[in-house]
Structure 1
Amino acid sequence: MTICSSAFGKASAVESIRAVSQIYSPMSRWYSKSALATSTAKTAPYNGQKKHHKSDEFTSQRELFVNILNANATKRDAKQFLARFKLPGEKPTSLSSKSNQDQAAGRQNQHDHSQKLGVNLGGLYSPGRAIAEAPQFVRQEMAEQTMPKDVMSTALVCLRTPEKLEEDTLDGLALTLSQLVKLDMHIVVVIGDGRVNGNTAENNISLKLNVDRQARRLCEAIEKHNQAAARYVDGALEVDKKPNGEATNLRVAVPRLVLGPLRQSTITIVSSFAYTTIGELVTIKTADTMSTLTEYLSSNSKNASAVDSSDIEASEISVDRIIVLDEAGGIPSKARRDGAHVFINLRQEYSSILDELSEYASCNRVGPGHYPGRSTVYDRQQDNLRLLQRCLAKLSSASSAIIISPQEAAASSGFLRRPRGSETGAGTRRQKNPLIHNLLTNKPMISSSLPVARLPNTSAARSNGDSHLAWQAPTLVKRGMPLEIIPNPHRGNRWEESGWMSPRDGFTTLELDKDPRIDFPRLLHLIEDSFRKKLNVEHYLNRIKGKVAGVIVAGNYEGGAILTWEQPPGTSDPLRLVPYLDKFAVLQSSQGSSGVADILFQSMVRSCFPNGVCWRSRKDNPVNKWYFERASASWQIPESMWTMFWTGEGVVENGDRFEDYLGVCKTVIPSFYSKNQE
């Protein structure tokens, strides 16, 4: 007996190169236009000098190509990414061509009329050729035409405590940001000091001087890699101040300072400081600055009179990414081997993760050298999560955010992995760039539904010298979708759920078509849309009657899973009931980067059946690659068209359990109509 437990590898090199060519071709055309626009711009960068040299272009291009290859984007990812570069629609038909079409139609009608009469009148009653082909001047009202607006995809970046970054780290981070610009991402960086000390004049000036120094450092680093350079914007934000000193009504008072450089692909740097109407300097919390800029940039009701450039007015801004660069790294998780959440569905997990971080912070304040008022790294991670909750709530569901340490973003660019100037030579395998990977795929670096055994072992990596894994893994955050599990698997512990329990008498009472918590018509549409087949509803309901363990519904029935308790053949013992994944469906419109499948699978294996579950799939099912990566093992059922998958440990060692799984997967009768029956 052979057990197949290996996951599918990466896509072939040829397919990866094709994906790169598809992605980068429109990029190169856009970037040449962007560079031309930048060279003819009226305004100059912050320090007026560009340090980008042609000798660095080859290295920069090579870095970008390698990072795109390492992202391993699929065809679906490339298609979704390239949709941002669609050409404007076809031009409307001109009046002259329309007039010619009308004349041709008139001549055809006359010819048809003479044919109906049955008499060949020749050209007696037809207009002369010269008259017919003579130009006619017809007065018609011109339809109002509007030029298609250019959409600027924008990333809002929060850089915390830049004064702690070494020069090499800052240089690598600048390279990564410049590569995002080459991939048509317009960037606004908010530098936050993280301290608001009473807003006294002395404190504000001291903090402002420090932020100014860090902004200049970042500008100089970016100008080495980005042709459009960077600009530090000061004085764009305005705030009102109450008599008690509290700042309120933060707003963008001078839009041109932010939108002007943004339009030219210049990386715009904004500090968390604002001025009152009388010129008083006020320190603003970084979260408030990020929230205000997110709301302003994503709003379509900009004040046109405040912007004196027609190019800017003709552009729509789409805030697609929120990036938080914090040395604390991603959000930690006690349930994962790498110690971090790789994906957070805010609508499902926001409150529970905040409670988890609060508990971590409380435990961290106890012990020698700690005191109750001490701020911990977990407090900062709570602040980061609250910041993303505020920002993503103002954006579309397609937008996402990522929390990553500056060291991780810089190291992944390759600058910290080899000496400057060395363009060839052997070395360790390059790390993926999380920011470029997220831009191309809108997915986390590691799937959140992968089993723990297939996650990278951080401690082992440290001992092998891979120091970049010492930083907390990046966390991808999306506004996400609600998740409903019927029945609720929670039974006390907030994080360690024991899952659904098998019925003592061997039968369940949950019925899909009668339970008021389940919208069965929509569930049926979801199944048929996902499988592209018609379901024999009567046969299916009869087959699973008394067996339904539960249902998982993601979003507005965008995805769903039906799980059952199946009786192995040859026994009626309730203790041998097998947890079985009967249906796993995702709407075709939601397949891809939305993460619906990962959310469903993660809930199934961690909340509903944490001790293991089995399922089967046809051997030619293209989804099997995804199943192979997430299953503990698989088995090709002999003399059948099925492959059996399962999760959990000890299935093979426990021979009876394996035989029960195999017996169920062999005997389950399909309920879909065949093509002939449809």
Structure 2
Amino acid sequence: MILQNLACKKGKGVAGHSVQCWAKRRRHLEAFPEDGTRGFATDRPSASQLREELAKEHVKNLSNKQKAKKEARAVDKDFFMSVLNSSATKRDAKAYIQRFTPSKESPKPPQTNSAAPEQRTHPSQGNGVNLGGLYGPASVVGSPQFLQYPHKQTGSLVGPRLHVALVKIRAPQTLDDETLNGVGRTLSQLARLGLLSVVVVDCNRVPESTQDPTWRSVATTQANRIVAAIDSEGVTEARLVDNIIGVYEGSEEPRYGAHTPIATHVTLRELMMTPLRRGVIPVIPSLGYTDMTQTAVPILASDAVLALTRELAGLPTQTCPDEDPEEVRERLQTRRAEVSLDRIIILDPLGGIPTSDRPNGYHVFLNMEQEFEPAKKDLLKGVQLDTAEASLQGQSKRDHVSDLGSSNPFSRFVETEFGGPKSTPQTVASEPEATTTPKPENKYHLQNLELVRSVLSMLPPSSSALLTTPDEAANAGKETPFRAGGVGTRRHRNPLIHNLLTDKPVFSSSLPMGRLGQTKSMMGDDPSTLAASITPTTFAKHGMHITMFPDPKLAPWEPPQPGKKHIKLTDSYIDLPRLVHLINDSFGRTLDVKEYLKRVNGRIAGVIIAGEYEGGALLTWETPPGVPDDGSPESRARMVPYLDKFAVLKKSQGSGGVADAVFTAMVRDCFPNGVVWRSRSTNVVNKWYFERSRGTWKLTNTGWTMFWTTPEMDRQTFLDYEAVCRGIEPSWADGKSILD
């Protein structure tokens, strides 16, 4: 029967093709002279002419198809190249391509029966029906297998791993269509770049709002607006999925871990996974159904995000009594192999997480391991400034954000060959006084902060979070005026696209505010203009712990005093072998440990360690030449705070925020009054150093460039800095004459 059907279909196809060819040939055989009469046999073109015309038509059609394909490839190439060129360095572009290029072998779920894969990809052997090579292997894949003792199917084949971002959009009802269309365009571009979104719509409804009869229509309407905004681009499709979240009933709520109560869970999983596999963006309103009565109830958007996180990450949840534990385990393993939940993106009209520690009013980068509790306390106390007010406060000493002022007699020492702006006079303002009344919007900031903490605690360390405003996310869809959103004169970047390509914030967290382009001196005194120039975006990672020896919170780092114990690298709380490995790996050279310890022990100011020795800084107190090192007050007053080694493991360079975290800890917590260091004049890292320093000076006839962060420096201090940087001898075992 199967063969008859195939023959019938084949015959119909051949007959149709023959009729088309006959009709086409007849049109060519008939000739129409100018007098309107129809001619036949004598006017018919020759067979060779017919073949030539048919060949020309075939070539023309083929050429048009190839041209269309070439144009489509050119459009795609232009899109990717324009995005990569405008938003990423070569290193970032390479890392992005490595992350999002599918592997040659698609990941497959683990199999408990080794025979199962063979049964799905080859003709059955033994008890099955062996079709031999009649149709070839391709026609057998996925076809029914007639087995006398069928094996249990333990999983399904999966394609290339899906890279997914969870996106929560708060208060979409407050956004105009233009902004929402811009957000849809950006989500569509993310999908073209390899990152599919699962969108959760947050209309600020709470479970108590069931008495409001409009809650469901509002949630559905706003979700449909987002679907329409994504579909309007015509590149990526979106689909409303409003019946996949289940709500546990009863007084006891299951819990997963320390921070994530499970009030919700995903029920109809394939309603979400099927669109994702097809490249369609699911849009999910904050709507759930009770497990027992299947009643629609409003849920917190944060609970929906947590439920989706557990499902996409393949984490265990409460199972139904009739579910087979073995099937559940295999399903979770399959999900982990199929999906990589890379990011959580929160689009909130309030923007990122505010802070009182930066003049722009927002955290640029949050190392959750180190900074979650301080950020939470800051929000609970309401210690924050209005963005415009914070901008008007100027540059404070504690934040090290101003350049070396031109009013300083030594401003001529500031080098500009690295491409940075020349210094301008800056007025150092005192620290703003903290307000005592928490602001109402802090409730939403706290919810966002807690949600990011909970999601990242369930994901691998490589995952990240981005919090920004819908306006910032939509800027790719608007004609925006020029404004400096990064260092110097770089054009404003879409934070979502930039973060996807680089896995970094829009600008470095250790970058002083004075290097961000638009400052008060450039824009005047208009608070609204200043507020609009600041990007309220926060990038967060689970991060790593930053350890400082000694702890500057207990006592500030001061020059060594006679009779007091000095910190040494051989102390038990410092892992010297790992520290040496960090330095050797970062510099690509071998440290002469004996000579180095001989030089620095007794003058160490402190050590900063990031994570498990992924990065670090070693700082010393150096005595300028000609100053007696006798511990007297005069000698201690002249001692120079010197950054002797700044190291990051090669695998952590350029990503993860390790260097930023170490540098920020150094200038903010350890040496708020300034520190000096030197670097090879040809070092590629000098641009990074230049952007974070108050000034630089090339040491003639040495091959060194000197950098410092000291806000106010007189002539004697400058000369001491220069003398120290000229006089220190390297301590390398493999060619001490080579600059470090």
Question: TM exceeds 0.5?
Answer: yes
Counterpart of 1:283 (choices 298, 320, 323) is 298
- Cα distance change of structure 1 residues 500 and 629 upon mapping to structure 2, 3 Å threshold: same
Describe the superposition over 1:62-108 as per-residue Cα deviations: whole angstroms up to 9, x where unpaired. 77654433213332542343343144159xxxxxxxxxxxxxxxxxx
Indicate the residue corresponding to 2:197 in structure 1: 187
Q: Equivalent pairs: percent with the same residue?
A: 38
Indicate the residue corresponding to 1:658 in structure 2: 718
Counterpart of 2:226 (choices 189, 210, 218) is 218
Counterpart of 1:482 (choices 536, 545, 559) is 545
| Local SS of the residue matching 1:330 | coil
User: What aligned pairs does 1:287-326 form with structure 2 within 5 A after superposition?
Assistant: 287-299=302-314, 316-326=338-348
After superposing the two structures, state which structure 1 stretch, 235-244 or 631-640, moved more: 235-244
C-alpha separation in 2, matches of 1:245 and 1:512: 50
After superposing the two structures, state which structure 1 stretch, 239-248 or 212-221, moved more: 239-248
User: What aligned pairs does 1:405-554 form with structure 2 within 5 A after superposition?
Assistant: 405-411=469-475, 413-417=476-480, 430-457=491-518, 463=526, 469=532, 472-491=535-554, 499-505=556-562, 509-513=566-570, 515-554=571-610
Cα deviation, residue 524, structure 1: 1.1
Which residue identity is paired with 2:457? A
Give structure 1 stretches of 5+ with no counterpart.
Answer: 1-54, 91-145, 365-371, 419-427, 492-497
Indicate the residue corresponding to 1:111 in structure 2: none
Indicate the residue corresponding to 1:603 in structure 2: 665
Determine if contact 1:337/1:455 at 8 Å carries over to the other structure: no
| Local SS of the residue matching 2:382 | helix
Which residue identity is paired with 2:186? T
Q: Which has the larger radius of gyration?
A: 2
After superposing the two structures, state which structure 1 stretch, 166-175 or 445-454, moved more: 445-454
C-alpha separation in 2, matches of 1:232 and 1:82: 32
C-alpha separation in 2, matches of 1:256 and 1:435: 27
| Local SS of the residue matching 2:375 | helix
Determine if contact 1:81/1:441 at 8 Å carries over to the other structure: no
- Cα distance change of structure 1 residues 416 and 381 upon mapping to structure 2, 3 Å threshold: farther
Counterpart of 1:403 (choices 467, 471, 480) is 467
C-alpha separation in 2, matches of 1:596 and 1:314: 27
Determine if contact 1:348/1:482 at 8 Å carries over to the other structure: yes
C-alpha separation in 2, matches of 1:467 and 1:482: 34
Describe the superposition over 1:88-137 as per-residue Cα deviations: whole angstroms up to 9, x where unpaired. 159xxxxxxxxxxxxxxxxxxxxxxxxxxxxxxxxxxxxxxxxxxxxxxx
Give structure 2 stretches of 5+ with no counterpart.
Answer: 1-70, 107-155, 255-260, 318-322, 387-435, 482-488, 629-634
Determine if contact 1:329/1:403 at 8 Å carries over to the other structure: yes
Which residue identity is paired with 1:292? A
C-alpha separation in 2, matches of 1:391 and 1:261: 23
Indicate the residue corresponding to 1:555 in structure 2: 611
Counterpart of 2:188 (choices 178, 185, 199) is 178
Cα deviation, residue 361, structure 1: 6.7
| Local SS of the residue matching 1:380 | helix
- Cα distance change of structure 1 residues 339 and 289 upon mapping to structure 2, 3 Å threshold: same
C-alpha separation in 2, matches of 1:162 and 1:56: 34
Indicate the residue corresponding to 2:693 in structure 1: 631
Cα deviation, residue 502, structure 1: 2.2
- Cα distance change of structure 1 residues 226 and 348 upon mapping to structure 2, 3 Å threshold: farther
Indicate the residue corresponding to 2:359 in structure 1: 337
Which residue identity is paired with 1:272? S
Cα deviation, residue 676, structure 1: 9.2
Which residue identity is paired with 2:642? Y
| Local SS of the residue matching 1:198 | helix
Cα deviation, residue 520, structure 1: 1.0
Describe the superposition over 1:613-656 as per-residue Cα deviations: whole angstroms up to 9, x where unpaired. 001112222222221221111111111121111112223xx110
| Local SS of the residue matching 2:345 | strand
Determine if contact 2:356/2:385 at 8 Å carries over to the other structure: no
C-alpha separation in 1, matches of 2:600 and 2:239: 64
Cα deviation, residue 400, structure 1: 0.6
Describe the superposition over 1:183-232 as per-residue Cα deviations: whole angstroms up to 9, x where unpaired. 011110000122315253x33x5211101011111111111114331101
Indicate the residue corresponding to 1:166 in structure 2: 176
Determine if contact 2:643/2:675 at 8 Å carries over to the other structure: yes
C-alpha separation in 1, matches of 2:295 and 2:580: 62
Determine if contact 2:181/2:474 at 8 Å carries over to the other structure: yes
C-alpha separation in 1, matches of 2:519 and 2:447: 25
Indicate the residue corresponding to 1:69 in structure 2: 85
TM-score, L = length of structure 2: 0.67
Indicate the residue corresponding to 1:386 in structure 2: 450
Determine if contact 1:361/1:378 at 8 Å carries over to the other structure: no
C-alpha separation in 1, matches of 2:523 and 2:83: 21
Indicate the residue corresponding to 2:711 in structure 1: 649
After superposing the two structures, state which structure 1 stretch, 180-189 or 269-278, moved more: 269-278
C-alpha separation in 2, matches of 1:317 and 1:190: 18
C-alpha separation in 1, matches of 2:85 and 2:298: 42
| Local SS of the residue matching 2:161 | strand
Q: How many residues align?
A: 539
- Cα distance change of structure 1 residues 416 and 305 upon mapping to structure 2, 3 Å threshold: farther
Indicate the residue corresponding to 1:253 in structure 2: 267
| Local SS of the residue matching 1:502 | coil
Which residue identity is paired with 1:291? L
Which residue identity is paired with 2:673? N
Bigger relative CO (Cα 8 Å, ≥ 6 apart): 1
- Cα distance change of structure 1 residues 394 and 360 upon mapping to structure 2, 3 Å threshold: same
Indicate the residue corresponding to 2:137 in structure 1: none
1:351 and 2:391 correspond: no
Indicate the residue corresponding to 2:141 in structure 1: none
| Local SS of the residue matching 2:84 | helix
1:231 and 2:239 correspond: yes
After superposing the two structures, state which structure 1 stretch, 149-158 or 248-257, moved more: 248-257
Determine if contact 2:604/2:619 at 8 Å carries over to the other structure: yes
User: What aligned pairs does 1:122-141 form with structure 2 within 5 A after superposition?
Assistant: none
C-alpha separation in 1, matches of 2:72 and 2:184: 14
